[in-house]
Amino acid sequence: MFCKLHPWLQAGSVLRAARQSIHKLASLQKATTLPPKEMQAVLYPFSQLDPYLDRSMDRTQFQLFHPSLEGMIDAEKLFYSSPPHKIDYYMSAERMDHAPALKPPEVCFIGRSNVGKSSLIKALFSLTPEVEVRVSKTPGHTKKMNFFRVGRAFTIVDMPGYGHRAPRDFVDMVEPYLYTRRNLVRTFLLVDGSVGLQKADLVALEMCEETRCPYVIVVTKIDKCRPGVLLKNLLELQDRVKTETTSCFPQPFLISSVHYWGVHLLRCFIAHVTASIRLTDTSQS
């Protein structure tokens, strides 16, 4: 059953629009009605690449965070808005001295201006469609730090994109945030899986290393290329993570915001690193 809408959204046209905006696989209940192989691809998208890997290759690095379905269900509950657990867009800020002083744990998303940050955040919040996450076809749409509150559990921050059409003051905006935000528990660095690491991504990777704040690489748009191309880009990325990083979580998260591959897993990881849920086992047995 889809999430309940609030009394202040009872106007007919708004209600219908909100319901129509919920993707058919946004909830785990819908995802678990798929045939087993399709469900596995949605929940654990690395399974789609597994057949293309040599049998001798160690797959552990791609399955370090592999929670149970029950763990994902506990995490999903946090992404439904309710009167005691309100999910909303809070505010935007152009500089750190404009950023709100929020106490809950915080995670932020950074990446190139056309990597799909806003689309991913929209997918994460799809169970609460009244939350407005603006997605534009024009690269560089996000010019400010946008703060979204998930009740009292945690905050998600959509950072401006770097690279093409990035704000002129991008460095002055983002670096102070990464260096000084005390409640920041994890940075998610998005990389386009169809093209792999670009020069601008390598600069961002270096910046994340310099801040020494734990970060994770999220590989987006995995539906936009052939498995062989994606696997090549993924293995090159993993080699760099293994040899040149110290603060990066070893496992990349594979995402398609279009087909919802990996969205449920990422929700669970966010809930886990913000200590919003307790998982008894996070690895594949």
Query: Residue-wise pLDDT tens for the chain (285 aa)?
Result: 334 434 433 433 443 444 455 889 999 999 999 999 999 999 999 999 999 888 888 888 898 999 999 999 999 999 999 999 999 999 999 888 889 999 999 999 999 988 999 999 999 999 998 998 876 555 555 578 999 999 999 999 999 888 766 656 677 788 889 999 999 999 999 999 999 999 999 989 999 999 999 999 999 999 999 999 999 999 999 999 999 999 999 999 999 999 999 999 999 999 999 999 999 878 764
Signed CA dihedral, 143, 144, 145, 149: sign only: negative
pLDDT at 136: 54
Name 134's Cβ contacts closer than 8 Å, sequence gap at least 6: 118, 141, 142
* Token couple for 86: 């309100």
pLDDT at 135: 64
Taking the C-alpha atoms of 39, 45, 49 and 51 in order, what is their torsion angle to the nearest 10 degrees?
-30
pTM: 0.89
- Please, are residues 125 and 26 in contact by the beta-carbon 8 Å criterion? no
3-state secondary structure at position 93? strand
Pick from 205, 202, 138, 143: nearest CA to 168: 143
* Token couple for 152: 């009292």
DSSP state of 6: P
pLDDT at 11: 36
Distance CA 247, CA 213 (A): 7
Pairing of strands 154-158, 145-150: antiparallel
Distance CA 156, CA 148 (A): 5
Distance CA 34, CA 37 (A): 8
- Please, are residues 217 and 113 in contact by the beta-carbon 8 Å criterion? no
